[in-house]
Amino acid sequence: MSMTLEHKKHVAFWVRCLRMLPQPYTSGDTQSGLDLLGVAQSKIPEEERKDLIDWIYAQQIAASQGGGFRGSPCHATSRTTPGPSHITMCYNALQNLAILRDDFARVDRASLKKFIASCQHVDGSFSPSPGQAERDARFVYCAFALCDMLDAWSSINTDAAVHFLLQCRNHDGGFGQGSGQESQGGSTFCALASLAMSSRLDRLENRELTIDWLCSRQQSGSGFNGRPEKPTDTCYSFWCGASLAILGVHALIDSSSDVSWLLSAQTRVGGIAKTPEDMPDVMHSYLSHAALVMHIPSSEEADKEVSLRLEGLQRLEPRWNLSEMSAEWLRNHIR
């Protein structure tokens, strides 16, 4: 496969997924590669963009029924019961509205803030919906991202949530989904991004231990794995790479090897697979694009070869996992 980004093929892949997503991929249909490829506005006609925005708002739950956003109409339990909101879907809804350049006029901010607060437990953790037993670092991340976007920190107990996250940290420096659970690249990103968004990174003691754990996830001459003794997987180039970027040490990555590994997983029909031997899927394609973005040099004097290999990608706000342009739109229009 080409060792430069196949921009046109990836755009075609994402347009196909947007308009006719294969059934096995529907669980990941909230990702947007078109945003990072810088073509969301040009490749989605205005009428289609309006339809997508209207569909997202159709998933907003009325304040009288708890507020927030559900994932899709299939979560309704009856014709009169729309189904519960989900904190991850709320996060995705705001992301997608920003990518589609909506003005957020129809977002019920007050009920959304109440919904976020209702998902928090006494120990600081968050569930996807009020009253659910499932709780872990992923949902804390979604809650913190929403509070950061909405400037709604007063709606939650931030200190309790930070305490919960720090309890998820292990002796090796990585973070698990919960206290005592194995360190993993995705949960480590959720914890570090949450600490950064809440201006609590200074609570991370001995951060060198976490940096060492993250750096050791990169395999020699290749990409990253998510846990020790596991095979490399393109998605972890984002989870671990973004974590190192948040800690200000992305330069510790062997960029040339990681970029080559990610590009080797491109396919002839566009998209990027979990490994070069697999078929592309939505999640790994998007997270691979996001990982590649972070390798774009920040100055003209930097590696021009890398810049040319990654031409066409837009810079990323790693904490929100959103292009800088869409993140700026969101900041300017939602508050």
Q: What's the length of the chain? A: 335
Instruction: Kindly indicate the confidence band of residue 297, based on its pLDDT and cuts at 50, 70 and 90.
Output: confident
Q: CA 189, 261, 42, 302: dihedral to nearest 10 degrees?
A: 80
Per-residue pLDDT reduced to its tens digit, 42-64: 988 999 999 999 999 999 999 99
Query: pLDDT band for position 32 (50/70/90)?
Result: confident
With a cut of 80, say whether residue 236 has pLDDT above it.
Answer: yes
**How many whole angstroms separate alpha carbon 169 and alpha carbon 210?**
9
Closest CA to 234 of 193, 290, 187, 175: 290
Segment 269-294 mean pLDDT: 94
The band of 113, judged by pLDDT with boundaries at 50, 70 and 90, is very high
What pLDDT, in 10s, does the model give residues 275-287?
A: 999 999 999 999 9
Give the CA-trace dihedral at 142, 43, 294, 153, to 10 degrees.
-20
Where is mean pLDDT largest: 19-28, 65-74, 169-178?
Answer: 169-178
Q: Which residue has the higher pLDDT, 12 or 142?
A: 142
Mean pLDDT of the 214-218 span = 98
- Cα–Cα dist 35/286, whole Å: 10
DSSP state of 298: S
Poorest-pLDDT segment among 147-156, 230-239, 307-316: 307-316
Average pLDDT, stretch 110-126?
98
Question: Does residue 204 carry a pLDDT above 60?
Answer: yes
pLDDT tens per residue across span 58-95: 999 999 999 999 998 876 655 556 778 999 999 999 99
By C-alpha distance, which of 83, 97, 84, 90 is closest to 40?
97
What's the pLDDT score for residue 30?
45
Q: Which of 29-33, 108-112, 123-127, 255-259 has the lowest mean pLDDT?
A: 29-33
Q: Determine the pLDDT at residue 311.
A: 82
Domains of the chain: 1-23+206-335 (1.50.10.20)
Provide, rounded to the nearest whole percent, the portion of the chain with pLDDT above 70: 91
